[in-house]
Chain A
């Protein structure tokens, strides 16, 4: 540790002294000396004082639509960010989900339903030289679920601004209710701890490594969902009981991503993430994206993503009998499955004649097609007999249309 500090000091001394030693030893003319000094000072200033800047002020208005697997979810969203000074910016976010669900879970054990979810976020960013700090509060509100959380993030540019280090913490508190049962009220809490390093590798390539640990405790079930088990004492041959989940869940995710600038002005993006948790779920996902400008007014985006996960240790599509084990789950999101996403997006930079005043505006349309394949979740609404129904799968279309104004 001491050696490291000494090494750093020596280097700094060399870095600052060398240009001046060279200048004075050569006893050059006064005018030339002035020029060299100015150049030296300028180069030091550009090297050492590339202070970060806050993102520009902007407002985004979005319409989103998700349709697939018997679910339709859509609604508006607004994101606003505004600088108060050169070092302080505020953000505000509103999001609405209008959900109508007739998913395979719902059709097999309940009736289709509809509900709304409102989400709001407020944030503040503070930039001091090369350090960025942000604080964010968030609330998500449904008839039967209230989630509140706060997050703090700090990031620091270092090493000639080639490296950015970041850390963050979040705490969330959830209140869970069950519609039609006023006596039901449960709680859960979530802690998140994350860190990242972003590194400029070449003049065309940057890489990022992020890690995040998430710890949940409390009531983690879905209060409506049931598992099914073989019951030969009833004519249907299948009985249902409520899911039972552990009261803790700890997970860890690591993501490596890279962005590469292609010689003809286009960008290539890649990421790989590995996830594992205390419920013995492991997942891998990888994505490749490509952004290509066409002329000055259009940007085309393409993406391909693959995701795969193993099932939770207490998951089963069909338990052998009632109360077969301590923990029981038949949530398809906890089963063994994979999905593949194909995405396309187009951004149109509006000409001045179509923009409001002299504000720069953009219109973007993005469409993702996601295909889900479940390897141990059968479709109970299909024919085939208990436990022999075909495996379930569905595809979803996800659309985002939004308008962005920079001011």
Chain B
């Protein structure tokens, strides 16, 4: 488990650092080319209240938890 966390932290640091170092690569999608990505239909958080309910239902019925994008906080299920 600790190995997992250390590996992930290293990977994340590497990604962050190389992200800064990769300034030599021009951002390949210009701001004026992002109208499709900015369209509200592309938002995964289009309905945040529904996402929170879905996450709660699944966390109560399944053993898996985490990385679901709702910010965490636990189920409170008994």
Contact = CB atoms under 8 A, between A and B. Distances in A.
Nearest to A310: B63
B52 A93 contact: yes
Interface residues of A, number: 107
Given A291-B41, A293-B41, A299-B41, A253 B65 contact: yes
B69 A255 contact: yes
A382 B25 CA distance: 64
A261 B37 contact: yes
Contacts of B19: 158-159, 163, 165
Given A253-B64, A259-B44, A162 B37 contact: no
Interface of A: 1, 4, 7-8, 10-12, 46-47, 50, 55, 60, 62, 64, 66, 77, 79, 93, 95, 117, 119, 121, 134, 136, 138, 140, 142, 144-145, 147, 149, 151, 153, 158-163, 165, 167-168, 170, 172, 174, 176, 190, 192-195, 197, 200-204, 206, 210-215, 222-223, 250-255, 257, 259, 261, 265-267, 269, 273, 275, 277-279, 281, 283, 285, 291, 293, 299, 307, 309, 312, 333-334, 339, 345, 347, 364, 366, 368, 370, 372, 398, 400, 402, 404
Q: Lowest 9 CB-CB distances: which A-B pairs, in order? A: A160-B27, A140-B76, A212-B66, A253-B66, A147-B76, A253-B67, A275-B64, A4-B21, A255-B67
A160 B74 CA distance: 34
Interface in B19-33: 19-24, 26-33
Given A192-B72, A259-B44, A400-B53, A7 B21 contact: yes
27 contacts: A7-B21, A7-B24, A50-B31, A77-B49, A77-B53, A138-B73, A147-B74, A149-B73, A149-B74, A158-B19, A165-B19, A167-B12, A170-B72, A194-B72, A200-B37, A203-B37, A206-B42, A213-B8, A251-B66, A252-B8, A257-B44, A261-B42, A281-B63, A307-B62, A333-B60, A339-B62, A402-B47
A120 to B, nearest CB: 11
Summarize A's interface: helix, strand, loop or mixed.
Answer: strand
Contacts of A93: 49, 52
Nearest to A398: B57
A368 B51 CA distance: 12
A4 B20 contact: yes
Given A203-B34, A347-B47, 16 more contacts: A8-B23, A60-B47, A95-B52, A140-B76, A158-B19, A200-B34, A212-B66, A213-B1, A215-B1, A259-B42, A259-B44, A261-B36, A261-B42, A285-B64, A291-B41, A333-B60
A312 B63 CA distance: 9
Given A12-B23, A165-B19, A366 B31 contact: no
Contact of A250 (B1, B30, B42, B53): B1
Nearest to B17: A4
Contact of B72 (A12, A203, A212, A404): A212
B17 to A, nearest CB: 7
Contacts of A345: 47, 50
Nearest to A333: B63
Contact of A192 (B34, B39, B66): B66
A122 to B, nearest CB: 12
B78 A66 contact: no
A384 B67 CA distance: 41
B4 A252 contact: yes
Most buried by A among B26, B50, B69: B50
Contacts of B29: 162, 200-203
